[in-house]
Amino acid sequence: MSKSVEFYFDVGSPAAYLAWTQMPRIAAETGATVHDRPMLLGGVFQATGNRSPMEVPAKSRWMEQDLARHAARYGVPFRLNPHFPINTLMLMRAAVGLQMRQPEKLRPCVDAVMRAIWVDGRDMNEPAEVAAVLQQAGFEPQALLALTQDPAVKERLKAATQEAVARGVFGAPTFFVGDQMFWGQDRLDFVKESLR
């Protein structure tokens, strides 16, 4: 029986970025397959009544330190995006669109967007910035923009987000190993345990 872990994420979550950087290691260490589950975190918050930890100033100040401590532990670059929060609707539509139409391009696209936001501090609220980032990563910005306007893609992101909420997701990143749910990049050790 092949093991697998589902990874629910939104590129606008710094914790999801940290987890994203670790998924190849988790896969290598456990032999599990990672199934990417793009969703719209704003939609999850709206449906569940949850909210970003960044909305509580004292928590936000601590989160910045905590994320930096985890980044140092993982050995990955990280800085909190100065344009946070980012409206990720178009970006996550592009992600599910690629997953539907050119699945092999999902990860390179998410890699480029995650790096732009959580390493390079780019302003991904700006369409021109998004286009520049995507072009530099070898994508055709106009084609991706068209993808985000495709009704089937819009619908798929909505459905994926609703499905996440129906399974109990309230934040990002969230992992499922079978029916077992784990929330947070700080639960990767439990994910690994569960995969063993």
Residues taking part in catalysis: 13
With left for phi above 0 and alpha for psi between -120 and 50, is residue 20 left, alpha or beta?
alpha
Which residue in the set 58, 75, 128, 151 belongs to the binding site for a copy of itself (CB under 8 A)? 58
Least distance to a copy of itself from the beta carbon of 62, Å?
6
74 binds a copy of itself (CB under 8 A): no
35 binds a copy of itself (CB under 8 A): no
Q: Going residue by residue from 124 to 163, which x/- string records binding to a copy of itself, judged by CB under 8 A?
A: ----------------------------------------
Stretch that binds a copy of itself, among 18-26, 62-70, 87-95, 125-133 (CB under 8 A): 62-70
Which residue in the set 25, 31, 46, 62 belongs to the binding site for a copy of itself (CB under 8 A)? 62
State which amino acid sits at residue 26: I
| Cα 117 to Cα 114: distance, rounded to the nearest angstrom | 5
6 binds a copy of itself (CB under 8 A): no
CB atoms within 10 A of CB 77: 11
Token digits for 180?
């077992």
What is the full DSSP assignment across 29-53? HH-PEEEEEE--HHHHHHHHS---G
How far, CA to CA in Å, does 41 sit from each of 51, 182, 192, 194? Answer: 9, 16, 24, 25
| Cα 187 to Cα 192: distance, rounded to the nearest angstrom | 9
Least distance to a copy of itself from the beta carbon of 131, Å?
36
Residues that bind a copy of itself (CB under 8 A): 48-50, 55-59, 61-62, 65-66, 69, 165, 168-171, 181-183, 186-187, 190
